[in-house]
Amino acid sequence: MTAPPLAWSAERIAEETGTSATFIGTSLVAITTSLPELVVAIAAVRLGAFDLAVGNLFGSNAFNMAAFLFADLAYRDGGLLDSVSSAHALTALWSILMMNIGLMGIIYRAEKRFMLMEPDGLLMVVSYVLGLWLLFR
Per-residue pLDDT at 88: 82
Tell me the Ramachandran region of residue 18: left when phi exceeds 0, alpha when psi lies from -120 to 50, beta otherwise: left
Q: How far apart are CA 39 and CA 17, in angstroms?
A: 29
Residue 22 to residues 58, 60, 90, 120, 125: CA-CA distances in angstroms? 23, 20, 10, 26, 20
- The tens digit of pLDDT for each residue in 102-125 reads 999 888 877 777 777 788 888 998
Question: pTM for this one?
Answer: 0.77
